[in-house]
Structures are given as structure tokens and as C-alpha cells.
Amino acid sequence: MTEAAIAVNELSVRFGLATAVDNVSFSVASGESFGLVGESGSGKTTVLRVLAGLIGHWTGRAQVGGHALGAKRPKALARVVQLVFQDPYASLHPLHTVDRVLSEVATIHGLANAQKRIVGTLQAVGLGPEFRFRFPHQLSGGQRQRVAIARALILEPSILLLDEPTSALDVSVQAEILNLLRRLRAERGLTLLLVSHNLAVVANLCDRVAVMRLGRLVEQADVERLRTSTPEHAYTRQLLAASRGYDRAAAEIEEQASPA
Amino acid sequence: MRAPTGTTWREYLTAATPTSRRHATVQRVYLAWVPFSRNPTAIVGLVIVALVVAVAMFAPWLASHSPIAQDLSYRLAPSTAAHWLGTDELGRDIYSRLVWGTRTVLRVIFLVAVITGPIGLIVGAAAGYVGGWWDAALMRITDIFLAFPRLILALALTSALGPGIDNAIIAIGLTGWPPLARLARAETLTIRSSDFIAAARVVGASASRIVFRHVMPLCMPSLIVRLTLDMAGVILIAAGLGFLGLGAQPPQPEWGAMIASGRKFVFDQWWIAAYPGIAICILSLGFNLFGDGLRDALDPKAST
């Protein structure tokens, strides 16, 4: 196995009295595509935000692209790991044009050839030059998410964190964005860490899956194994059943999974 | 500035694909102008404010007399062909003093806006974004200023600094920023938790860059609206200080001071106090209508 791109050891995060993430450990190999699934409130997004440096108070050890994470986030880390947010309607500044969003990143990091890079990155995410000077309100949801992906990619990070990148989009656009991410991963050799509540999306994009519930990691498995055999943990079985659409059987598995 | 060749202005302003940074900005302004121009009261406000600015610019040509030339043989006269709005107790032409007084009142408004706007914005945005200890300290200072009625505080400051229009401007400016800081802080608190601020942090933007480039532009519309609506109050406080003898000093023409000097004759020569009063009333109304129109046009929640 190559050196781990992401290694998380005994990570715990508390918000007041509530424990959002409880003693979670996992690692993602370089170039691997790893999925983190679970229901709302399972702590999966919190793990992602810790890795992106958005949450400061956590315990345990975490290492991203060879950098150990501390309380403060060095600027250089932004060039190694980037995050794409869930809601493209909220993650773009309403008064900044696409051009401004991208050129600001270039300015912060003093990138050479900023103009060329902006055009090139827009092209890589499937946006032509006509989108460059538009404001977010002049873009559709899928186009906005492409801009958000472009913002993450202009720094050419090796690791991309994805926080439910498709859940705010309608179904046909979801497929487009997933195809885009798969292509970008192949072209750039990206390591992906995808968070989703949708097992189908994860199975589409990822090699390996970890299942989280109530802040704990309950199971890790290869996607292939999920497809072919029955998962060990009852909760994973339930998620799998739920991804095939609602039926009574899924609700019955829930009764077995919940101890109370 | 001309529209690029081959297109009309209308096409340029409504094109779906802006071609440059400037084009995008111009379109943004146009987008705010459209609802504003369809609002008749807002246009009335804009026209009043624009007219007063024009009068101040062309005062030497519009005034029929010198604003400070006295004619003691022709005191307290009603309006005549020579003196359109009559004369005051020293025989000075009231119309000319009103015209020249626009310069005083606009200077007060402009300088007060320049003092209060940036202080309020920086204090509020910094307190809201940084939070914690800074927030507590800055907001307690704001509370201290807010604890006093504005006119009383301005009065205390001008009497400490000494009477005069410049000191009055400083006093009004120093008492005017706390409500703006409150507003900017409240806006900042809702903005700071949004995803696009988190996204800016993830790409490595510093706190000062986020406050100045990301937070402040979003605070601007409500702050501009509030500032415009405040201008009516500023005019009244400046007039009040002038009325009490703490603002503009004689013989400088200032509307509040003109009312003060006319109050002795208000029963026999009512026009001496009435005309500057009407002028204050119209200009305050103009700023209020203008501010209301701006609020409708700039409200970020209404237009996306």
C-alpha cells in the first residue's frame, strides 16, 4: 500500500455536551476514492470539516497529504487539500463573479499565469469562457457547482474533499457532476473523500466505503463486497436496502439495528 | 463612455454573458437602477437631493444678493421683486442665504457620512467576524455611545470642542456611528456562518481579506440605506445645533441658525423663520424618500 493521503486516528469532536464524532479512525490511500456514508447527524460532514481546517476544537490525530493537522491551518495546506461544499447556492459569494472567485484564489497564493489558469480550470470543469464574468445568480445549480469545483481545483490539490456534492442538484445534473468528478479524478490522479447519505452515489464514485452512525464508524468495506454479499453490520444492510427505495423490509431492519 | 460598437446600450446592459469585469459591474448597477427608476417616490427623493446639490454648485449664479451683505434701511421686508423671499433683521436677502446655505448643509451631510460610515462599518464588521473578547469590548463602547440621546451627546461634544460648524460636524459624526456599527455587526453575524465564507477560509483567505472583501460588500447596501435615512436626522441635528448657537457662526448662512434668528419675529415677520424651515423640511423629506427607494432597490433578499 502506498503512503496514506489521509490518516485519521481516534478523532473526536464535541459541540458543547453533544459528541458529534466519537473516536473515529480510518485512512485513505493516495489516489484512492473513499466514501463516508451515514444518515443526517452521523458526524460525517464534521469529519470532513476537521480535515478542511474549518473546525478547530477536536482531539486525536489527523494527517492530510503528509501534513499533521494542528489548531491553526497553514496557508500551504490549501494547495494540498480542498473542499467542495454541499449547496452550490450557498457556497458562492453573491456579489463575486466567477472570474473574481477564481482570481482571488490565484492572488492569495500568488499563482503565476493567473489568466491562463482561470480559463484552463473553467474549461476543465466544462464551462466555456462565456461564463467567466457571470454572477452566481446568472448560473444554474449545476453550473454553480462546477464553479465551486473549479475554485477547489485551481490550486491543483492532490486531495479533494466532497461534502454531498450532488445532493442539492436534480437527478440529471447529479449524473453530470458525478461524471465530471470521475473524469477529473482520472485526469489528475486525485484522492477523493466523498461524504454522502446516498449509497448509490458513493458506489458510483468510490472504491471503499466507511459507514458512520451516531458519530461512530460502524463498518468499512469495499464497494464490490457491498454489491455482492451481505454487509456485516445491520445498519449497513439497512442503508443498502434504503438506497433501493423505501420498503417495509428496510424499516424492519432498523428495529434490529437500534438497540432500544 | 460608449457602448461597444455594433451593440446598443440596452443590449450591452442586459446581455446574458458579460465580457469583462467592467461589463459585469455596469450590469449590476443597471440591475439596481431598474426597480429604483420604477418607484415614483424614490425618483422624487432623488430629484430633490440632486436639485439641492445643483443649487449648491451654482450658488454664486443663482443667488440674487450676497448672503452676508447687510442693508439696515431695508430690514424685515416681505417678499418683493428685489428680495424674492424678503429680508431678515439685518436686511440680508433670505433667498440668497437659503441658496448659499445649501453648501453648509451639504458639507455637514457629506462629512458626517464620511466619518460615520467607515467607523460604523469597520467596528461592526470586525466585532461580528472576530467575535469573542473583541466583540464584547467594541460592543460595550458602542453601548456607551448609544446610552445617551444623540442630540444631548452632540451638544455636550460641541460645547466641549467650542462652537463652530466644523466642531458640530465632528460631534455629529462621533455620535452617529454606533447604530451603524450595530447594523453592520448584525449583518456580519449572519454572513460569517455562510458557506461562501467557509469556502474563502478553505482556499486560504486571511481574516482581514474576508472582512474587507467578502463581508463588507454585503453589509454595504443596508448601511447605505441606513446612512441615507439618517441624513434627515443629521440635517435636523445640525439645524438644532445652529439654532442653539453651537453650529454655524454668524454671518455664515445656515438654515438652523436662520430659524433661530427669525424666532424673535415669528408673529410679525413669519417668513424669516418659515422659509428656512420649509427648506429643511423638503431636504429631509428628499433624503427619506431617496433612502426608502434605495432600500427597495438594494435589498439583497428581494433580488437574486
Give how far A181 is from chain B: nearest CA, Å.
19
Q: List the one residue out of B50, B38, B37 whose CA is nearest residue B282.
A: B50
**At B42, which amino acid appears?**
A
**CA distance linking residue B115 with residue B175, whole number of Å:** 10
SS (H, E, C) A71-122: CCCCHHHHHCEEEECCCCCCCCCCCCCHHHHHHHHHHHCCCCCHHHHHHHHH
Chain B environment of A93 (Cβ under 8 Å):
196, 200, 214, 218
Beta bridge partners of A11: A24
Query: Confidence class of residue A252 from pLDDT cuts 50, 70 and 90?
Result: low
The reply to whether A133 touches chain B by the CB within 8 Å rule is yes
Interstrand relation of A4-15 and A59-64 (parallel, antiparallel or unpaired): antiparallel
Q: List the one residue out of A231, A184, A188 whose CA is nearest residue A205.
A: A184
Cα-trace Rg, chain A: 19
Selecting from A53, A94, A97 the residue whose C-beta is nearest the C-beta of B24 gives: A97
The reply to whether B304 touches chain A by the CB within 8 Å rule is yes
The reply to whether B205 touches chain A by the CB within 8 Å rule is yes
**CA distance linking residue B53 with residue B155, whole number of Å:** 27
Give how far A88 is from chain B: nearest CA, Å.
9
Contact call for A85 and B198, based on CB within 8 A? yes
Contact A165/A136 with Cβ under 8 angstroms? no
Contact B241/B224 with Cβ under 8 angstroms? no
pTM higher than the cut 0.90: no
Contact call for B196 and A138, based on CB within 8 A? no
The reply to whether A90 touches chain B by the CB within 8 Å rule is yes
Contact call for A91 and B214, based on CB within 8 A? no
State the first-to-last Cα distance of chain B, in angstroms, to the nearest integer.
Answer: 28
Chain A environment of B300 (Cβ under 8 Å):
94
Mean pLDDT taken over chain A: 87
Interstrand relation of A81-84 and A159-163 (parallel, antiparallel or unpaired): parallel
At residue A65, the pLDDT reads 87
At residue B304, the pLDDT reads 41
| Chain B residue at shortest CA distance from A153 | B203
Walk me through the domains of chain A, giving residue ranges and CATH numbers. Answer: 1-74+159-170+190-260 (3.40.50.300)
At residue A73, the pLDDT reads 80
At residue A255, the pLDDT reads 63
At residue A1, the pLDDT reads 43
Torsion angle of C-alpha atoms B63, B68, B69, B70, degrees rounded to 10: 130
Contact B225/B55 with Cβ under 8 angstroms? no
ipTM here = 0.88
Selecting from A54, A92, A133 the residue whose C-beta is nearest the C-beta of B196 gives: A92
At residue A222, the pLDDT reads 87
The reply to whether B217 touches chain A by the CB within 8 Å rule is yes
Residue that has been written with the C-alpha cell 440668497 in this structure: B96
The reply to whether A235 touches chain B by the CB within 8 Å rule is no
Interface test with B, best of A54, A55, A91, A109 (most B CBs within 10 A): A91
Distance of CA A202 to the CA centre of its chain: 10
| Cis? peptide before B250, omega within 30° of 0 | no
- What residues 145-174 of chain A have any CB closer than 8 A to a CB of chain B? 148, 151-152, 155
The reply to whether A95 touches chain B by the CB within 8 Å rule is yes
Q: 10 Å Cβ neighbour count for B168?
A: 29
Chain B environment of A151 (Cβ under 8 Å):
199, 203
Contact call for B28 and A135, based on CB within 8 A? yes
The domain limits of chain B are: 55-68+80-298
At residue A172, the pLDDT reads 86
Contact call for B218 and A97, based on CB within 8 A? no
| Chain A residue at shortest CA distance from B304 | A137
Selecting from B18, B203, B213 the residue whose C-beta is nearest the C-beta of A155 gives: B203
In 3-state terms, what secondary structure has residue A227?
Answer: helix
**pLDDT digit string (tens) for chain B, length 304 residues:** 555 666 788 888 888 778 888 888 888 888 888 888 889 999 999 999 999 999 999 999 999 888 888 888 888 888 888 888 988 889 899 999 999 999 999 999 999 999 999 999 999 999 999 999 999 999 999 999 999 888 899 999 999 999 889 999 999 999 999 999 999 999 999 999 999 999 999 999 999 999 999 999 999 988 999 999 898 889 889 888 988 888 888 888 999 889 988 888 889 889 899 999 999 999 999 999 999 898 888 865 554 4
Give how far B200 is from chain A: nearest CA, Å.
8
Judge whether residue A39 has pLDDT over 90.
no
Instruction: Please name the fold of domain B55-68+80-298.
Output: MetI-like fold (1.10.3720)
**CA distance linking residue B7 with residue B20, whole number of Å:** 15
Interface test with B, best of A93, A132, A138, A149 (most B CBs within 10 A): A93
Least confident of A57-71, A178-192, A208-222, A224-238: A224-238
Judge whether residue A59 has pLDDT over 60.
yes
**CA distance linking residue A243 with residue A237, whole number of Å:** 10
**CA distance linking residue B128 with residue A25, whole number of Å:** 36
Contact call for B24 and A93, based on CB within 8 A? no
C-alpha cell at B146: 448609544
Selecting from B21, B204, B217 the residue whose C-beta is nearest the C-beta of A108 gives: B204
| Residue A250 burial (10 A CB sphere; 0-12, 13-18, 19+) | middle
